[in-house]
Copies of this chain bind each other. A is one copy, B any other.
Amino acid sequence: MDVLQKLYEMTAFGSLIENPGSLLMLAIGAILLYLGIRKQYEPLLLVPIAFGVILANLPGGGMGVVPGEFIQLEGLKQAASPDMNLMELEMEHRYMNLFEIAHEYGIMNFLYYMLIKTGLLPPIIFMGVGALTDFGPMLRNLRLSFFGAAAQLGIFTVLLIAILVGFTPKEAASLAIIGGADGPTAIYTTIKLAPHLLGPIAIAAYSYMALVPVIIPLVVKLTCSPKELKINMKQMDKLYPPKHQIKNLRAVKIAFPIVLGIVISFFVPSAVPLLGMLLFGNLIKEIGANTLRLSEAASGPIMNTATIFLGLTVGATMTSDVFLDPKTIGIIVGGFFAFAISVFGGIAAVKVFNLFTKKKINPLIGATGLSAVPMASRVANEIALKYDSNNHVLQYCMSSNISGVIGSAVAAGVLISFLS
């Protein structure tokens, strides 16, 4: 009898009965796996996230991430008040150390509090993204990169709406940054402002990034005329050629990340961890052979390892009590609008611009002002080709596409700076 009791205690059925929501979470994990594997929605991140969701919700497995309050040592502070005022002055909050976190809550929390809650992995991944990014297409059509700004409209619009609907400003900002269409930026912002929403926001961000081939055509169809979509950028370039040619692309590509990083950071210093690492990664790539070991490490083992652990731990924040919350619905709906409005913002900016100039711009170049590089550009190119099979806009789209990464990192910096 006693043995059977112990046997039952060993299994997870007890905690399953106590917390049946975890079954639902397992199903959600399975759906995410289906999207990642079969539908090929950003599998590099969605598969680890989905598996993290499953691991976190295996009852009794101890792999779910616990809320931040669990690792705060409130008692120390309170108890200390009478005779330990010196320490209190020094630091308001104290936290369990990483070893204690592992001891008490297991390896998934250890990884989460070491790699994610500290804000480490998103900048590390940005370093790898930088080492894979080529600013060449952007530099060749520099003026078009301006439209990467307009495509941040969705962020600030949805922020406003989310606050109206009842989200706190920090939560609203984390939700809204989905409209930047940039995974690491969304995760970084959420870590800083509303870590309890990390799971749903990350999943929404990556899912909508995977849905770019659906969302962009939808918005374009609703807002652009065939005539606009047939604007041929190459012919425009011939009619109104650009003023100066780049004589030494390599030197420009090396100087660009350095100068850009310094100047941007004067204006939005809170974007430094993200943009600084992005530009560092890009610099070591552009230097070439002399720092090849570094750029290969940044874009290879470092980024891949960071991706695995980012995915698993972000997924593991999605325990049933966190996810099964009305806010999750808000995030899913709000995220979609943030995306769509961003695309619209880029298109609208082009239309306004075209009112005042003779050298017309194809509105698709505005639509690719989000970050999803290079998928947005490819989608836009396909749309253009559908209207005129000789109208290749890919290289032009890449300009606003890449600058969209900078745009959303800047938007994140503004939000973090004003709200944290």
A: residues with CB less than 8 A from B are 6, 10-13, 15-16, 26, 30, 33, 37, 40, 43-44, 47-48, 51, 54-55, 58-63, 71, 73-76, 78-80, 82-91, 94-104, 106-107, 110-111, 113-114, 117-120, 123, 127, 254, 258, 261-262, 265-270, 272-273, 276, 280, 283-284, 287, 290-291, 293-294, 296-298, 300-302, 304-305, 307-308, 312, 414, 417-418
Contact = CB atoms under 8 A, between A and B. Distances in A.
Contacts of A123: 107
A287 B39 CA distance: 12
Nearest to A281: B308
Contact of A296 (B47, B298, B302, B304): B304
A269 B83 contact: no
A311 to B, nearest CB: 8
Given A47-B284, A102-B117, 17 more contacts: A12-B267, A47-B287, A47-B290, A55-B280, A58-B261, A58-B269, A61-B269, A61-B276, A73-B91, A80-B84, A107-B120, A110-B120, A293-B307, A294-B304, A297-B304, A297-B307, A301-B304
Contacts of A71: 99
A107 B414 CA distance: 19
Nearest to A87: B75
A63 to B, nearest CB: 6
Nearest to A13: B266
Chain copies in complex: 3
Contact of A308 (B262, B266, B294, B312): B294
A85 to B, nearest CB: 7
A11 B79 contact: no
B83 A76 contact: no
Contact of A84 (B6, B59, B76, B305): B76
B102 A90 contact: no
Given A61-B272, A119-B107, A291 B43 contact: yes
A73 B12 CA distance: 34
Contact of A16 (B96, B266, B297): B266
A312 B281 CA distance: 12
Contacts of A75: 84, 86-90
Contacts of A291: 43-44, 47
Nearest to A92: B104
B97 A95 contact: yes
Contacts of A102: 117-120
A38 to B, nearest CB: 9
Contacts of A40: 290
A58 B265 contact: yes
A379 to B, nearest CB: 19
Listed from nearest, the 7 A-B pairs whose CB atoms lie closest are A60-B269, A61-B272, A297-B304, A102-B118, A97-B97, A75-B87, A75-B86
B300 A301 contact: yes
A80 B80 CA distance: 10
Contacts of A76: 84, 86-87
A265 B58 CA distance: 6
